[in-house]
Structure 1
Amino acid sequence: MAKRQFIYKNPDVDLKLKYRKIFEASLIIAMAILILILFSFKKFEAEYELEKKVDVQIETIDIPQTEQINRPPPPARPSIPIASEDEDIPEELTIEETEIDFTQPLDEAPPPPPEEDEPIVEFYALSEKPEVIHRVEPAYPELARKAGIEGMVVAKVLIDTKGNVEKVEIVKSHPMLDDAAKAAAKDFKFKPGKQRDRFVKVWMTIPFTFRLKK
């Protein structure tokens, strides 16, 4: 017959026997760690709350008392006339006649208001440009002819709404020829310029060339 061998475990190394003690020790250690974590977290929150606090300073400002303006009272309403019962007022009143002497000279009537100057329109703004109807050639000055002087004079003329030359200005001058050019420019006749179907005043230049016949 075969012999049976029995194996006996040493109670010092048997884990099943020590399982309860190990579990209790582990549980105590875990609870201790958890308590430490909770206490440290509360301290952190307290420090964080203290850092978040902000010092609030309240300043008091003295507001001056506003002055009330006393408005004047509204004007009194006009009284409504009421018929009087006094018998002393006469029922009929007579107005004396006034006589006017038409033989005396009347005061002179005031002069009529001056006519407003018509506006001067720029040449480029015209819808119809002025056209020369009558041109006058200037007379050659005798002194300039004898001295053999030639040249050009440019006159600037203001043409009114009737086509007449109202004003003359010399733009390009020659001392011995200006007067002759100015006299000729005054006798020019134009068809007046138009702007929007109405005649207007406008400035225009006229060149005069003085040449001696050879």
Structure 2
Amino acid sequence: MNNYEKMKAKHPMRRDIILIIVLVLLILVAIIFPRFKDMREPVQKTEIIYIAPEKKIPLIGGDPAPAPDIVGSLLQEMNERPIPPELIPDSIDFEMPVLDTFSLDSLYKYEPKGKGPPPPSKGIGIICGNPIYQTPPRPIGGKNAINNNIEYPDSAKQAEIEGQVILQCFIDDKGAVQEINIIKGMDFPGMNDAAINAVKKTKFKPAVQRDRNVGVWIMIPVTFKLNTR
């Protein structure tokens, strides 16, 4: 019998104790290591994303033009758009003026000589801004009332000046001449004043609208013609 067997026979209990200790250690290691693994804190992974800096590309031809102000242009267009006139309802009884066929040319016994200024329009019409009238103003005394008030300038008679002056006159509701404007005059001195004075001296029957006298503007031609007979 060798030495190992001798020792084995002498120390049977020591062998068993060592085996037990080894088994206990293995069991402890198996139990302890999983616990340490669970106690470790989880590590969060951080993902780093690289963003390249933005590069400004230069535009050809400079900065772009600003966008048009669409709202402002629409408002301006609406403000500049003309407001349509109000329509007269059909229920209103609107009377059109009745123009007399009376011609102012027939007031005067003289007529222009040769190629004089063009004659005024026939009849008495409505000047812009006039009230609508049914009966136009008429000179008191008939057709020759203004003719009789004409004072022919002596210098014009000597120079044998003839012609016509067209006046725009305001006849008030009492038949008086209040304002006179020269529409077409004569270049010879004194002729325009003579025409104005002749009309101012004439008394008129005022215009009538619905049985009421009204003031109106009318056109009056004053003709200058020499009586060579």
**Which structure features the higher share of helix residues?**
2
Q: Specify the TM-score bucket, using the shorter chain as the normaliser.
A: 0.3 to 0.5
Q: TM-score normalized by structure 1?
A: 0.41
Q: TM-score normalized by structure 2?
A: 0.38
